[in-house]
Structure formats: structure tokens, C-alpha cells
Structure 1
Amino acid sequence: MATPLKVGIAGLGNVGAGVVKLLAKNGALVARRAGRPIAVTAVAARDRTRDRGIDLAGLAWEDDAVALAHRDDVDVVVELIGGSDGPALTLARAALTGGKPFVTANKAMLAHHGLELAKAAEAAGVALRYEAAVAGGIPVIKGLSEGAAANVIAHVYGVLNGTCNYILTAMEQQGRDFSEVLAEAQALGYAEADPSFDIDGVDAAHKLSILASLAFGAAIDFDGVGITGIRHIIAADIAEAASLGYRIRLVGFGEAGPHGLFQRVHPCLVPMDHPLAHVTGSLNAVVAEGDFVGRLLFQGRGAGEGPTASAVVADLVDIARGGTGPAFAMPVDSLARLERAPAGRRRGRAYLRFTVSDRPGVLAELTAAMRDAGVSIESLIQRGAAADGSVLLVMVTHEGPEESVAHALERLEGSQSLIGAPMLMHILDS
């Protein structure tokens, strides 16, 4: 029998326990596909007494996760702790500099320290794998780095956060407002007690920065991602978008062009005939457009015990077969250091929602600001006054420079006609 690949797992939450369950259930099949058995030999977690629904008998237990990197009975370290720094990063550095392959589901750590860790893996001649870090069980990392390796990728974009997509879908289907649906999602366990990373777009931005590196052969630049979340979307936005033939999705969008690397996470109006409009609930989807292969769509469950554990074990199979290729599809020194492309140079259409006072002259003030900034209005919708005397105004612009819309909104800052800040959403081309 071939020598087993011995695995140490740091973190026994849902995903860590899921990896143990998967290998227990499908171990024989995994061994045949990997060419050798894959066996968990050691684990590290904070609570030894917790019932995780898995058999841990016979496994070595470390209270300090970093100890896994130094054990002789661990060939590869799997990190499922989370966090961009702290124990996860310390473990990653210890494993890679110590010559052990490293598998992680930690998108935050990769977004902030991915280049450093990839370089350490190259220096040691070992693998750094992270299929589970982006879009859960969807094999988008391997799809971009291997399946589409012969293509120049024009764009990569997608629905990258299941919590946001669940909330937007519920608002869409039930006509409820954001805060109400968020509270329900938290009660059901779909959203964290502190959901900021999800609803403010940071989680999606971590994932986008990784995808952009793979798609464009560029160094990761998380700080260059423009980020806007979904917490200011109201039920009326969902309804107005539907009446115009769109659905609202939080979209992470990346593009490399003559002006540099453009990365943005932002709620968008997605045409009903676009694949992303039909990504519902907690599903994720990634679209990549290659010059020879055309449009590729990767869709599936983006989180959860089963899908994420599946992605982790897929990486272990790759390592068991001897895979040691560069983490970001090419050596770190070969990755392009691209300038950040300014958003203002982009052209597109926009959805603008204003809540205004119900009094004469307000509409003239808004349209004058648009005119003076060079924004052409395609359509304008005004709803009747609410009980508090406010009126909802929605504009859709013709295609034009994004900086023109930004200048129009700057002209309206401090206006006594506005009740609250305007809501701007870009319209995704079909």
C-alpha cells in the first residue's frame, strides 16, 4: 500500500469537522483518486470537550496550532482557524518555512499576506493551496489557474458572498426591508452576530482580490478594491429594480486594462437575462470571460460544512499527487504590479435613488445638478408622498463617465431637499 498523506488540521469548527467526516465516509474513493490514502493524524482546537459529531479517537491533539507544523507525523497542514493575522498567519509561516505543504480556507489571510506566503512556499518547494477560500465548493480557483490558463481574461466578476445574496433574495421574494431580513438571517444562523464583514462587502472584496490575481496574473491588491455593501438598500430599491427589468446583487468586479487594475465590490442592477440575476439564496457564482474560451460560469454553494470541506480535500488530493505549482498560477516575481485604475474613467449606466422633501422645485434642483455635471437621464420615476411627507425619486442614467455621476452627487451634498444620502448602484452590462 502507498504511504498515506498525513494531515494535521487546525480548527475543528464546521469545516474542520466536515473534512474529518468526508475522509471517513469517502476515504477509499479519495485514496484511489489521490493515488494514496489521506489520513488525519493530528488536530488543534481550543475546546477538547465539545462534541463535534466526529470520532477523534487515535488522533494527536495540540492546544497550540503552531505545533502541527513541527510534528513528524504531519505531512501537510490544513488551516481552518480564520483571521487575517494572529494564530492562522503564524501557523502558515511556520508550516511553509518548515517545508510542509499548506492548505487554507482563509481568504482574509490570503488577501493581506498571500504574496508573502506564496513566496515562502516557492522557496521551500511546497504547495500553498486555497480552493476553499473563494466560493466554497465551487472549483473556481483550479478553473482559473488551470482550466483557463491559455486565455487572456478580460473580466472576472460574480456573486461572492452568500449572506448578502440570501438577504437580497429574501427582500426580493418577500418585499421586506434590509434590517428585518438581516435579523431573521442572524436568528437562523445565516449571518454572524456581527455581520459587518459580510454586509459591508469586505468578505467579497477579499475573495475578489484573489480572483483578480489569478485571472490577470497580477499581484494581489486588496487595498485597491473599492467597497460598498448592501446595508443601505431598501425594499423600494428592490421593487424599482424589478419594474425596470433588473435584480439587485452584490457584485465583485475585476478588470485589467490600459489604465491598470480595476476592482470593485458594489451592489449592482443585474439584467434579468444575465446568469447572475438567477443566483439566489446563499449560492455563489463567478463569471470569467476569456478571449478564446468565451464566458465561463462557475456556480454552486459558496459556503457551509460540506462544500468547503469538499474543496479542502480536493486540495489535499492535489498535494497527494505531488502538485507543487505556484499558488497564484505563476511565480510571485512574475506577477504584474499593476496601477490602480480610477473608477471615474469607466463608462456605464447608473441607478440613483433619492428621498426628497415633497415641495416645489426639488425635481428641478436634482435634474439641474445632473445637467451641470453632464449626466444624461434615461428615465425618472417619482412615487407619491409618504406619511412623513417624503417622496421617492429614482433616476436611471444613460451611459456616460462614472465621474460625471459622482460630480452630480457632489453638487447635491448639503441640499436641504434631500432626506438622507442618495443611493447609487451601477448597472451591470448583460
Structure 2
Amino acid sequence: MTSATGSTPPVRVAMLGCGTVGTQVERLIREQSADLTARVGAPVELTGIAVRRPHRHREVPEELLTTDAEALVASDVDVVVEVIGGIEPARSLLLAALRAGKSVVTANKALLAEHGPELYEAADESGADLYFEASVAGAIPLLRPLRESLAGDRVNRVMGIVNGTTNYVLSAMDSTGAAYGETLEEAGRLGYAEADPTADVDGFDAAAKAAILASLAFHTRVPAEAVHREGISRVTAADITAARGMGRVVKLLAICDRVVDEDGGESVSVRVHPAMIPRGHPLATVGGAFNAVFVEAEAAGQLMFYGQGAGGPQTASAVLGDLVAVARNRVAGGRSPRESAYAELPVRPMGQVATRYHISLDVADRTGVLAQVAAVFAENDVSIATVTQRGHRDEASLVIATHLASEDALRGTVEKIAALSAVREVVSVMRVEGEEP
């Protein structure tokens, strides 16, 4: 088959799903047809879109719609673009495409975090391409720099804000002083939060993205279940106020670290949790629903990637960028980078991860309380950096900042402190990141 513009056959594309992102991908392929042909070296032809309910997609040409996703994948196409999300049927459909030698572009972070190695293996066996830039941070070019641009460097840390919903909520709490529940409701009204925001506010979305980032950065397979995950539902207005008083801001961070032991052994730490960071840190100024990722590499130094991390047009931009790369490979005979998991570094248990902490206690205002609390810290080998004490009648508060301490040591310390008769309540425990040693 030849194209109308020359002898090069078109790159035939099937798309699975046509929701917010898929609709924008279809529009961009149609509206930018001439530009795509010039960039790829051949026409890009969308041959079909698999959907559940064709009548709901009046904005898409009717002849493109089908309810038979399996038949569409098995048809005479070169590339399958997947924007339906979830694990099944996406996993089965993409494996079928890859095993048949058809290249895949996907925005499915959950699928990649849980079944990425299986997809890579299928791509390797058939020589097909697997691209997934849109799976993390929307329109921000992030994965390809980690996968390709920094392939000759040694990445030591990736730390970022990778969920727009939680960043909007925490940013609004910081600017208005409102409580978590009130701010989340507002986020829903404005369209920043889903009707069921669980995946976002409980950290599942960010954890899947952290697994992908760590796998690329450290050349190690990191499954989603190995990522320590905490959400933002326990962050209070008091936490936000305390952070502000210390020149800090609270963010939900995805943190991927290369850890080198004293004996030279290496492991990786991958975690998602709220943390206080200095207001002077590059990530502190990232507000609203924006995303940003801070990368530290030995030769390249510190890099920051910033932009809109979600939204139909933004995510579609990343999908289309991958589609152009895949189509070029089809035309010119190139291939995408293969999976790089040679390092096989172990994932360090969260209990062994060291960081700093901010701890707030309600205590009885009497002599000796601070000494009792300090003794517990010393017994558990957790070093105190600063203590702030405020008292009013028979009530008082202690705000303690620690030096680096392991999660296990800190947890044991907090449990023993909570059992002291002079301690009324452990009000909050929050990690502190982004500060110089």
C-alpha cells in the first residue's frame, strides 16, 4: 500500500480507549496530519478506536469506532496506543500486540509499575517498541531523559511532586489555612480531584510513578508493592502552620534514592509520603496542580523538570511524542531503548531508611518532662537537633527536630514517648527532606 504523498506506506495506528486523553490524541492526529507526515517521513493513519459505548463519542468519526478491542489489535496495524488505564484488559491486549511485533505506546502507569518487565520481555522477543512517556508527569519530558539522555550518567536521587491533586490540596492548605477535608472538597468542585480521590490522596498514583522512575534511574526492577506509601489524609492545618513557622512547606513527595552502605554495598530506597521541605527548595514553589521532579546525577548535577502533570491535552502531547518516535522507528528501521535492569539492586526496607523528622507533642507543663523525652530519644539513638517548648498553665507543647535517624529507630522512639505519663498526645510526626546535612 502506498500513501497519497509518496511511496512510503502509512504507519497504521489503533487506539484503545477514547476518554479525556484519547479524544485529544485523535484530534491531534487529525489536525496535525501534515506536520506528522513531515516529522515521521510517512503518513500516520488512525485506523480504529476501541471503546465500550460508541454512542458516547459523537466528536469522533463513527467509522473509526469499534467495541471489539481484540480484533482491532489483531488487525493490520503497526502501532497500538493504549489510554484505557487499569490492568485488564489493557495487559492482555498490549501483550498480544507486542508478541505480534506491533509497537506500543501507553500512558498506563499502574500497568507498567506492576507488569513492566512482562511487557518489556514481550517487546524484546518480537523486536517491537515500548514507549510510555505519558505514564508519569503528563506533558513533562521526564522518562526519556532518564532512559536516554542520562544513560551515560549515574543518577543518585529522583525526588518530585508527581500527583497534581495532592499538590493542589496541600498548596491550598498552605495559602488559605483551611483544613484537609475542606480543601479536598474544593479540589473536587474545581475538577482537580476525582469523585473517588483515593488513588491520589492515599498515594497509590504517586507510588506507581515512583516505581517507574526508580526502575529507570537505577537500572533495577522496582515493583509497585516495594514502594513505601503514605497519603495526605492525616496532614492537618496545624502541620501546615508549623511548617510555615519554620520556613518550610509540606508536599507529597516521591523519593527514589541510591543508598551506599559503609562497606560499599548499594541498594535503592523508594518511598511516597508527605514531608516538610525548605521554602527555598526548587520543589517548594511548585503550586496548584503542577508537577515537578528534581534529579541529582553525578556528572549532570542537579536537574529539574516542571510543568503540567495531567490533563487531556497535556497527556496527549506526551502520547503523540511517543507515537512520532515509534513511527519514525518503523519508517527508518530503528528501535527504542531496551529495558535496562542490569544493576539488580535490592530495595531497602523502609525501616532502614534514614531521614530527619519533625515531632510535635502535647505534654504536661511540669519540671522534668523535657528530660524524660530527651532520655527516650537518647536510648533509641535518635539525635535531637532542636527543641522548642511552649507552656500555658498545665499544658505545654514540645516541637522536636531530629538529625538523620532510621525509620525503625524513630518509630520505636515515638512509641515509647507516647507511653510516658507526662505526654498527653503525639500530635504529629513528619519527615523533613531537602535540607543540607
CA distance in structure 2 between the aligned counterparts of 1:320 and 1:228, rounded to whole angstroms = 39
Which of 399, 406, 428 pairs up with 1:394?
399
After TM superposition, give the deviation of residue 344 of structure 1 in Å: 4.4
Q: What does residue 104 of structure 2 align with?
A: 102
Contact 2:54 2:66 in 1 (8 A): no
Q: Residues 79 and 293 from structure 1, CA distance in 2 versus in 1: closer, same or farther, beyond 3 angstroms?
A: same
Contact 1:66 1:90 in 2 (8 A): no
Q: Deviations over 1:194-232 (max 9, x none)?
A: 212111111111111111111111113322211111111
User: Which residues in structure 2 correspond to 1:373-412 (within 5 Å)?
Assistant: 373-382=380-389, 393-412=398-417
Give the match's secondary structure for 2:63: coil
Tell me, yes or no, if structure 1 residue 262 matches structure 2 residue 284: no
Unpaired runs of 5+ in structure 2? 1-5, 260-264
After TM superposition, give the deviation of residue 343 of structure 1 in Å: 3.9
CA distance in structure 1 between the aligned counterparts of 2:97 and 2:16, rounded to whole angstroms = 12
Which of 180, 185, 188 pairs up with 1:186?
188
After TM superposition, give the deviation of residue 427 of structure 1 in Å: 2.6
After TM superposition, give the deviation of residue 9 of structure 1 in Å: 1.1
User: Which residues in structure 2 correspond to 1:6-21 (within 5 Å)?
Assistant: 6-21=12-27
CA distance in structure 2 between the aligned counterparts of 1:277 and 1:337, rounded to whole angstroms = 33
CA distance in structure 1 between the aligned counterparts of 2:177 and 2:46, rounded to whole angstroms = 47
Contact 1:129 1:327 in 2 (8 A): no
Contact 2:179 2:237 in 1 (8 A): yes
Give the partner amino acid of 2:336: G
Give the match's secondary structure for 1:58: helix
Q: What does residue 23 of structure 1 align with?
A: 29
Contact 1:118 1:326 in 2 (8 A): no
Q: Deviations over 1:41-100 (max 9, x none)?
A: 100111211146x332432x221322221112x2211111111x2211111111111221
CA distance in structure 2 between the aligned counterparts of 1:141 and 1:402, rounded to whole angstroms = 29
Which of 251, 254, 271 pairs up with 2:253?
251
Give the match's secondary structure for 1:247: strand
Tell me, yes or no, if structure 1 residue 70 matches structure 2 residue 74: yes
Tell me, yes or no, if structure 1 residue 298 matches structure 2 residue 301: no
Give the partner amino acid of 2:135: A
CA distance in structure 1 between the aligned counterparts of 2:109 and 2:427, rounded to whole angstroms = 32
Give the partner amino acid of 2:69: A
Q: What does residue 44 of structure 1 align with?
A: 50
CA distance in structure 1 between the aligned counterparts of 2:383 and 2:365, rounded to whole angstroms = 24
User: Which residues in structure 2 correspond to 1:111-126 (within 5 Å)?
Assistant: 111-126=113-128
Contact 2:365 2:396 in 1 (8 A): no
Contact 2:167 2:251 in 1 (8 A): yes
Give the match's secondary structure for 1:424: strand
Q: Residues 246 and 69 from structure 1, CA distance in 2 versus in 1: closer, same or farther, beyond 3 angstroms?
A: same
CA distance in structure 2 between the aligned counterparts of 1:78 and 1:336, rounded to whole angstroms = 30
Let me know the Cα RMSD of the aligned residues. Answer: 2.3
Give the match's secondary structure for 2:55: coil
Unpaired runs of 5+ in structure 1? none
Which of 343, 356, 359 pairs up with 1:352?
359
How many residues are aligned here? Answer: 419
Q: Residues 420 and 402 from structure 1, CA distance in 2 versus in 1: closer, same or farther, beyond 3 angstroms?
A: closer
User: Which residues in structure 2 correspond to 1:320-359 (within 5 Å)?
Assistant: 320-322=327-329, 323-328=334-339, 330=340, 334-354=341-361, 356=362
Q: Deviations over 1:307-347 (max 9, x none)?
A: 1000001111001111422453x3xxx53322122444444
Give the match's secondary structure for 1:92: helix
After TM superposition, give the deviation of residue 401 of structure 1 in Å: 4.1
CA distance in structure 2 between the aligned counterparts of 1:121 and 1:403, rounded to whole angstroms = 41
Contact 1:287 1:298 in 2 (8 A): yes
Q: Residues 10 and 418 from structure 1, CA distance in 2 versus in 1: closer, same or farther, beyond 3 angstroms?
A: farther
Q: Deviations over 1:160-189 (max 9, x none)?
A: 111110111100111111111111112222
Contact 2:207 2:229 in 1 (8 A): yes
Contact 1:136 1:302 in 2 (8 A): yes
CA distance in structure 1 between the aligned counterparts of 2:11 and 2:398, rounded to whole angstroms = 61
Q: Deviations over 1:324-378 (max 9, x none)?
A: 22453x3xxx533221224444443211233x36564765554332232222322
Which of 32, 41, 54 pairs up with 1:35?
41
CA distance in structure 1 between the aligned counterparts of 2:250 and 2:314, rounded to whole angstroms = 25
Give the match's secondary structure for 1:351: strand
Q: Residues 76 and 237 from structure 1, CA distance in 2 versus in 1: closer, same or farther, beyond 3 angstroms?
A: same
Q: Residues 410 and 358 from structure 1, CA distance in 2 versus in 1: closer, same or farther, beyond 3 angstroms?
A: closer
Contact 1:92 1:102 in 2 (8 A): yes
Give the partner amino acid of 1:24: R
The percentage of counterpart residues that share the same residue type is 40
After TM superposition, give the deviation of residue 421 of structure 1 in Å: 6.3
Give the match's secondary structure for 1:138: coil
Tell me, yes or no, if structure 1 residue 153 matches structure 2 residue 155: yes
CA distance in structure 2 between the aligned counterparts of 1:273 and 1:399, rounded to whole angstroms = 20
**TM-score, scaled to structure 1:** 0.91
Give the match's secondary structure for 2:235: coil
CA distance in structure 1 between the aligned counterparts of 2:68 and 2:199, rounded to whole angstroms = 27
Give the match's secondary structure for 1:86: coil
Q: Residues 5 and 423 from structure 1, CA distance in 2 versus in 1: closer, same or farther, beyond 3 angstroms?
A: same
| Moved beyond 6 Å, runs of 4+ | none
Q: Deviations over 1:2-27 (max 9, x none)?
A: 32212111111100001011122222
Q: Residues 390 and 119 from structure 1, CA distance in 2 versus in 1: closer, same or farther, beyond 3 angstroms?
A: farther
Q: Residues 88 and 391 from structure 1, CA distance in 2 versus in 1: closer, same or farther, beyond 3 angstroms?
A: farther
After TM superposition, give the deviation of residue 137 of structure 1 in Å: 0.6
Tell me, yes or no, if structure 1 residue 423 matches structure 2 residue 426: no
CA distance in structure 2 between the aligned counterparts of 1:303 and 1:295, rounded to whole angstroms = 24
CA distance in structure 1 between the aligned counterparts of 2:299 and 2:428, rounded to whole angstroms = 41
Q: Residues 91 and 372 from structure 1, CA distance in 2 versus in 1: closer, same or farther, beyond 3 angstroms?
A: same
Give the match's secondary structure for 2:56: coil
CA distance in structure 2 between the aligned counterparts of 1:139 and 1:385, rounded to whole angstroms = 52
